């Protein structure tokens, strides 16, 4: 009888322990999202050419961000005539390594305070496989985030989190999607904050693109 009473007394503690184990990851992931304060505009500098391969932004958060688009062999690419299946390498510096970003071809919003999109490839697929920095893996949209928890869901690491450098490998997808067509709509290769700070525009930079044919 005493043994039964002892087991009954342990059950609430066991249940409480399980609840804590479940709530801690939720808190670790959710609280920073809820507490995030938007930093402002990206301050992208107007390019002096119609099809630049490098753009710079002087962000409202005091960071100077730059990203460059090239071919997979490092050669210059014609961003005015992209083709489906083409491979592009996007490299950036000065980004906030404490925040994740998406890299993809998206519709350029008419209002810079609005999130870019829709995007080719949509939100990057979240799979339970971490992608280390330096791994070459092409996809229509890339996800960069160095938080250990999000890396478990397929985020790629920053090359150097302190310097905010990254490399993304973009495979050009179908320019026509639901409610958009990059053969008609103005589109660009964008960086923007991931789902942990969706309404924050400070990391929005883009290189304008168009499609051949």
- The pTM score is 0.81
What is the share, in percent, of the chain residues with pLDDT greater than 90? 63
pLDDT at site 149: 80
pLDDT digits (tens, 9 = 90+) for 189-209: 999 999 889 899 999 999 999
What's the rounded Cα separation, in Å, for the pair 206 and 13? Answer: 53
Query: Quick one: pLDDT at residue 154?
Result: 77
Return the bridge partners of 208, or none: 188
Residue 2: its pLDDT value, please?
53
Cα–Cα distance, 109 to 42 (Å, whole number): 14
Q: Residue 118, preceding bond cis, omega within 30 degrees?
A: yes
In angstroms, rounded to a whole number, what is the distance separating the alpha carbons of residues 147 and 97?
9
Tens of pLDDT, residue by residue over 20-60, are 344 444 444 444 555 658 989 999 999 999 999 999 999 99
Q: Write the pLDDT tens digit of every residue in 131-177.
A: 565 678 899 999 999 988 877 777 889 999 999 999 999 999 999 99
How does the average pLDDT of the chain come out, rounded? 85
Model pLDDT, residue 183: 97
Distance between CA atoms of 141 and 160, rounded to whole angstroms? 20
Q: Is pLDDT larger for residue 207 or for residue 213?
A: 207
β-pair partners for 193: 101
84 neighbors 213 (Cβ within 8 angstroms):
no
**What confidence tens digit (pLDDT) does each residue in 102-137 have?**
999 999 999 999 999 999 998 766 555 555 656 788
pLDDT of residue 18: 46
Q: Which residues of 38-67 are buried (b: 16+ CB within 10 A; e: fewer)?
A: ebebbbbeeeeeeebbebbbebebebebbb
What would the pLDDT profile of 65-115 be if each residue is shown by its tens digit?
999 999 988 889 999 999 999 999 999 999 999 999 999 999 999 999 999
């Amino acid at each position: 009888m005493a043994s039964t009473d002892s087991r009954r007394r342990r059950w609430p503690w066991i249940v409480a322990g399980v609840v804590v184990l479940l709530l801690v990851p939720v808190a670790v992931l959710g609280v920073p999202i809820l507490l995030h304060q938007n930093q402002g505009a990206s301050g992208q500098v107007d390019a002096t050419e119609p099809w630049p391969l490098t753009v710079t932004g002087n962000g409202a958060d005091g960071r100077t961000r730059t990203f460059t688009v090239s071919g997979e062999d490092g050669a210059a690419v014609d961003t005015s005539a992209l083709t489906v299946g083409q491979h592009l390498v996007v490299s950036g510096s000065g980004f906030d390594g404490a925040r994740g970003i998406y890299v993809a071809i998206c519709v350029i919003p008419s209002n810079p305070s609005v999130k870019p999109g829709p995007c080719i490839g949509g939100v990057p697929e979240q799979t339970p496989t971490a992608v280390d920095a330096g791994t070459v893996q092409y996809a229509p949209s890339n996800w960069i985030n160095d938080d250990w928890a999000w890396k478990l869901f397929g985020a790629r690491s920053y090359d150097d989190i302190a310097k905010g450098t990254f490399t993304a490998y973009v495979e050009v997808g179908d320019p026509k999607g639901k409610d958009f067509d990059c053969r008609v709509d103005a589109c660009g290769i964008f960086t923007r904050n991931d789902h942990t700070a969706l309404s924050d525009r400070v990391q929005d930079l883009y290189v304008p693109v168009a499609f051949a044919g």
